[in-house]
């Protein structure tokens, strides 16, 4: 009887120890340091390494105050004409969102996707889905306008706190017919915890 009791206690001890180590392993998998994201998988890497998402974040990611200025438009806006004064957010997943300086009723939010093309260099394919023009002045809301596509080529500064580049803006009517083509330059500064309103004006 004592032998059976000792065997039972030894077996129970092994079961409890296994449960303990399983719980520890499960807890480790739930920590921030152990999480692996699907988009962190290095496609085409022969070593098929998994990396933490934090290791893949580009320095362009964050919030920016960006100014768009017309330049080089024959018959269009003169050089130096402000085109937009915006706040943009670049996300680590390759998407971007912009709060334009346009009045909200005219469409002030637009979105895009970005890609790194060289060290500190990025391309953006950006769409303003729709809005209104300003021809109906008495009502304050203009006629509907169609999507606008903005292509950006951006270079990030070495310290990661400013950017500069060029843009090409193609506006259309709701049927997709071109209504305006504007090109120019853009500059931006990173928004931080210390940024104040006067710095954005």
Any idea where the domains of the chain sit in the sequence?
1-33, 59-200
Under 8 Å between Cβ of 74 and 80: no
**What number of other Cβ atoms are within 10 A of residue 164's Cβ?**
14
Residue 41, pLDDT score: 42
Q: What counts of helices (H) and strands (E) characterise the chain?
A: 2, 10
- Report residues of the chain scoring pLDDT below 70: 1-56, 133-142
Q: Please give the pLDDT value at position 34.
A: 40
For the domain spanning 59-200, the CATH number is 2.40.128.120
pTM, 2 dp:
0.69
> Which phi and psi (to 5°) does residue 103 adopt?
-60, 145
What is the structure's pLDDT at 102?
80
pLDDT at site 37: 43
Contacts of the segment 87-95: beta carbons below 8 A, 24+ positions apart: 87/63, 87/191, 87/200, 88/63, 88/64, 88/188, 89/62, 89/63, 89/64, 90/58, 90/60, 90/61, 90/62, 90/64, 90/114, 91/61, 92/53, 92/56, 92/57, 92/58, 92/61, 93/39
């Amino acid at each position: 009887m004592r032998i059976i009791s000792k065997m039972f206690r030894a077996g129970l001890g092994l079961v409890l120890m296994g449960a303990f180590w399983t719980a520890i392993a499960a807890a480790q998998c739930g920590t921030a340091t152990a999480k692996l994201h699907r988009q962190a998988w290095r496609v085409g890497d022969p070593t098929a390494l998994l990396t933490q998402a934090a290791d893949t974040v580009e320095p362009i990611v964050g919030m920016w105050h960006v100014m768009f200025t017309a330049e080089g438009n024959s018959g269009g806006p003169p050089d130096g004409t402000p085109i937009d004064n915006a706040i943009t957010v670049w996300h680590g997943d390759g998407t971007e969102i912009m709060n334009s300086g346009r009045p909200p009723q005219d469409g002030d939010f637009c979105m895009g996707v970005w890609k790194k093309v060289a060290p500190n260099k990025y391309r953006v394919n950006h769409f303003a889905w729709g809005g209104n023009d300003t021809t109906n002045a008495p009502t304050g809301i203009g006629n509907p306008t169609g999507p606008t596509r903005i292509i950006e080529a951006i270079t990030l500064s070495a310290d990661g706190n400013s950017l500069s580049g060029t843009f090409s803006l193609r506006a259309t009517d709701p049927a997709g017919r071109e209504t305006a083509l504007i090109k120019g330059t853009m500059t931006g500064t990173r928004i931080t915890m210390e940024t104040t309103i006067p710095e954005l004006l």
